[in-house]
Amino acid sequence: MITPRPTKLLLILALLTSGIMLLPLIGLGLGLINPPQNPLMSQSSLLELWSQGDVWGLLINTIILGLSVAILAVIFGTYLAYLSMRADYPFQRILALLGLLPLAMPSYILAACLREVLSPSSFLGLTFNLPFFTGFFPVLITLVVITTPYVQLLVSASLARLSGTELDAARTLGATRFTLFWKIILPHARPSIAFAFLISLLYVVSEFGAVSVLNYPVLTWRLYQAVDHQQLAQATLLGCSLLALSIPMVLISRLVHGQVPLITQIANPKLTTRRNLNLTERCFAYIMHALLLGLGVVLPVIVLSVWVSNGLENQITFAPIYPALADSLKIALMAAVFIVLLSVAPAWFVARKPYGVGRLIEQATYLGSALPGVLLAFGLMLMALFLARSLHHANLYALLLQSGLLLMLGYTLCFLAQSYASVKTAILRLDPRLYDSAKTLGASQFRYFTRIALPGLMPGLVTAFILVFIAVLKELPVTLLLAGAMGLRPLSFRVFDRYQEAFLHDTGLAGLVLLLLSFTMTALILRWRSHV
């Protein structure tokens, strides 16, 4: 059977796209070799910068937070995945679906709402004499709520592939419920659990929004502060430290991901029988659902609404929301189109040649999504700065920032993998017999692509577009560092900026609009994917 072979042009485009992922790494490397200096400050050695920045302390804080969040998220997410796949109780399906809504909740909005509702001056704070809600434990609570749905999704997919034949055979041989879980269910889900643990760990290492709102000193927050204060040499050292922490976890996660089974090993697998929960188990399940949904969705919406209501009652003037909304839609639309178009070439090439060069292209494509957005944005800024210096063009750096090129590249680095995965899956679903028929009839590859392949790819392209659109709407560090020079102030920027200035009424309005967009697009993608 004939399949369309990737052309040299396709290979070049795929290499160029994956090569974009190396730009911030090159920028950081150049910055480490020749650190940019502030002319108003004396030059310091790397050892002095390491000591001044308390890099060891930041590394330890980052690792402890990451491990703590990952462990708790795996425990809660695996339990919820078990409930969604193996348990039967009233409203189980709708609760499992609603439990995924925190995926659409930006961490900085959740952190801001929890900080205010649990502050010493709040009703709960005064009632229970609560301490100031910042530091390790508030960040831990926030990030566990955000990452638990990721674990639930990954482990649920693994449990869905578990055949009921194995479980029925084990029961026939007298296996207890604990034995079934320990000997069959857990070994089957172990690769997915390990991958979910690493994904949660990487998410926390890359996290910026919650740690910045809750003032917890980790590498990403200090890196942003150093860039914001033009301490570029210190920022370069922090960025390289963050990269050194992230890269090993990226490599291990890719290795573990390769061990996750894609299909079941049993022919004609029997569906697993759901187990009815007793009263105690059912109450505990409802408590878990209530905590996740209440903290991750209901509470932020209520708090944001109260802030808006208080502003209206006190007749406080709101900042116009339409410019921020227009900027968000404009940026998200441009970035989504740009990234989806870029993802087609590497996805098509790797789908046709998955080994050798194709494997390297795929690994490079996934690299950006695993690295912190603040690190990628700063790496691009360093690359542009060194390019301007090398070409002796004083205004080149400002031109690259103001043109929006760095902003689009920053979003591409962060979200190309999301689009790539969706597009590649759609390409793999194309029936090669259609290309065989088109070739027999004398159709060119271009005609085959436009008349046959493109309509078949459309569901995957639309899915990729919506996924990237949602991600860009919520993205904060790349927007803060790279969008300001263009005069853009989207909703994510508005929420963060107005909260820092203690204008809670503006924070609430911008947050509600952002959540409305995010939840709507998330519901749209769930509905769309259920029909394709």
39 pLDDT higher than 50: yes
Average pLDDT over residues 34-40: 65
Phi and psi, residue 520, nearest 5°: -65, -45
Confidence of residue 279 (pLDDT cuts 50, 70, 90): confident
61 pLDDT exceeds 90? yes
- Boundaries of every domain in the chain: 1-30+317-532, 48-311
Whether residue 531 is predicted with pLDDT greater than 50 in this model: the reply is no
Residue 7's region, left for phi above 0, alpha for psi from -120 to 50, else beta, is beta
Q: Which of 172-176, 213-217, 375-379, 401-405 has the lowest mean pLDDT?
A: 172-176
Output DSSP code: residue 489. -
Which pair of structure tokens corresponds to residue 82? 């078990």
CA torsion, ordered 90, 93, 95, 98, to nearest 10 deg:
-160
pLDDT at 216 over 90: yes
Q: Look at residue 267 and tell me whether its pLDDT is greater than 50.
A: no
267 DSSP assignment = S
Given a cut of 90, whether residue 480 has pLDDT beyond it is: yes
User: If pLDDT is split at 50, 70 and 90, which confidence band does 166 have?
Assistant: low
Which parts of 444-503 fold into alpha helices (H)? Answer: 445-448, 454-474, 477-482, 491-500
Highest mean pLDDT among 167-176, 325-334, 450-459: 325-334
Task: Say if residue 532's pLDDT is above 60.
Answer: no
Q: What confidence score (pLDDT) does residue 263 get? A: 43
pLDDT in tens, 293-348: 999 999 999 999 999 999 999 999 999 999 999 999 999 999 999 999 999 999 98
> pLDDT at position 265, please?
45
pLDDT of residue 527: 64
Q: Which two tokens stand for residue 522?
A: 């998330």
Q: Which residues, in sequence order, are bridge partners of residue 87?
A: 275
Looking at 3.30.465.10, 3.40.190.10, 1.10.3720.10, 1.10.580.10, the CATH number of the domain 48-311 comes to 1.10.3720.10
- Rank 66-75, 114-123, 177-186 by mean pLDDT and report only the highest: 66-75
Residue type, 306: V
Please say if the pLDDT value at position 448 is more than 90: no
Task: Give burial (CB, 10 Å; 0-12/13-18/19+) of 524.
Answer: middle
What is the chain's mean pLDDT, rounded? 84
- HEC readout, 149-209: HHHHHHHHHHHHCCCHHHHHHHHHCCCCHHHHHHHHHHHHHHHHHHHHHHHHHHHHHHCCH
Q: Are 272 and 81 in contact (CB under 8 A)?
A: no
The encoded tokens of residue 159 equal: 């449990």
Q: Do domains 1-30+317-532 and 48-311 have the same CATH topology?
A: yes
The whole-model pTM stands at: 0.88
Distances (CA, A) of 91 to 95, 98, 154, 293, 327: 6, 11, 21, 14, 39
Residue 167 has a pLDDT of: 67
Specify the range with the lowest mean pLDDT, choosing from 129-143, 234-248, 396-410.
129-143
Percent of the chain with pLDDT strictly greater than 90:
43
Residues contacting 437, CB < 8 A, separation 6+: none
249: pLDDT strictly greater than 70: yes
Q: At what angle do helices 373-390 and 232-257 cross, to 10 degrees?
A: 130
* pLDDT at position 353: 85
Mean pLDDT in residue range 231-256: 86
pLDDT score of 233: 86
Residue 457's pLDDT band (cuts 50, 70, 90) = confident
pLDDT band per the 50, 70, 90 thresholds, residue 258: low
| Mean pLDDT to the nearest integer, 180-197 | 79
Phi-psi region of 135 (alpha: psi -120 to 50; beta: other; left: phi over 0): left
Cβ–Cβ under 8 Å, residues 97 and 509: no
Q: What is the CATH number of domain 1-30+317-532?
A: 1.10.3720.10
- Are the CB atoms for 121 and 132 separated by under 8 Å? no
d(CA 449, CA 443): 10
- Examine the pLDDT at 434 and tell me if it is beyond 70: yes
